[in-house]
Amino acid sequence: MMTAALGQQSDLAQIKQRFVEHYCAEGYAHIPGSSLLDPSVPMSYVMSAGLVQVETSATLHGGRTGTRYTLVQNCFRYFDMAKVGHSAMHLSLFQMPGAFTFGPANRTIAIARIWQLLIDGYGFSPDSLWATFFAGGAATGHHFEPDWETQRAWIEVGMVPEHIVGLEAEHNFWKQGASVVGDTQAPKCGPNTEVFFDRGTQLSCGPTCAPGCTCGRFVEFLNTLFITMHIDGIIEPLAEPFTETVVGAERVAMLLQGAASIYEIDTVHPLMAMVREAAGTVPPLVQDGSIHERVIVDHIRALLFLTADGAPRPGKGGRARLMRKLIRELLTSMRLLRIADMALVHNLANTVAVLETNPHLPAYVDKVCDYIAAEKTIFDRTVRAGMRKLEAMLEEGDIPNFNGADMVKMEKQHGVPRALVEIALRQKRVRFDPETYQKAYRQWSQSLAGEN
Taking CB under 5 A as the binding criterion, the range among 77-85, 198-206, 259-267, 435-443 that sits at the site for Zn ion is 198-206
CB of 208 to Zn ion, least distance (A): 8
Taking CB under 5 A as the binding criterion, the range among 68-76, 204-212, 385-393, 409-417 that sits at the site for Zn ion is 204-212
Longest dimension (CA), the chain: 77
- For residues 155 and 213, which CB has a smaller minimum distance to Zn ion in the complex? 213
Strands (E) located in 86-136 = 93-102, 129-134
340 belongs to the binding site for Zn ion (CB under 5 A): no
CB of 363 to Zn ion, least distance (A): 44
User: How far apart (Å, rounded) are the C-alpha atoms in residues 132 and 167?
Assistant: 7
- For residues 213 and 394, which CB has a smaller minimum distance to Zn ion in the complex? 213
Using alpha carbons, list the distances in angstroms from residue 190 to 27, 70, 102, 179, 181.
Answer: 25, 21, 14, 16, 21
Q: What does the per-residue mask of binding to Zn ion show for 146-175, with x meaning CB under 5 A?
A: ------------------------------
Q: What does the per-residue mask of binding to Zn ion show for 90-129, with x meaning CB under 5 A?
A: ----------------------------------------
Q: What does the per-residue mask of binding to Zn ion show for 209-248, with x meaning CB under 5 A?
A: x---x-x---------------------------------
Residues paired with residue 189 on neighbouring β-strands, in sequence order? 175, 229
Burial profile 174-212: b = 16 or more Cβ within 10 angstroms, e = fewer = bebeebbeebebbbbbbbbbbbbbbbeeeebeeeebbbb
CB 105 within 8 A of CB 190: yes
CB of 184 to Zn ion, least distance (A): 42
CB 253 within 8 A of CB 219: no
Q: Quickly count: other Cβ atoms within 10 Å of residue 238's Cβ.
A: 18
CB 155 within 8 A of CB 164: yes
Degrees, nearest 5: CA angle 65-68-73: 105
- For residues 261 and 357, which CB has a smaller minimum distance to Zn ion in the complex? 261
CB of 80 to Zn ion, least distance (A): 20
User: How far apart (Å, rounded) are the C-alpha atoms in residues 83 and 263?
Assistant: 13
Type of residue at 53: Q
- For residues 210 and 394, which CB has a smaller minimum distance to Zn ion in the complex? 210
Taking CB under 5 A as the binding criterion, the range among 98-106, 205-213, 304-312, 392-400 that sits at the site for Zn ion is 205-213
CB of 83 to Zn ion, least distance (A): 17
Residues that bind Zn ion (CB under 5 A): 205, 209, 213, 215
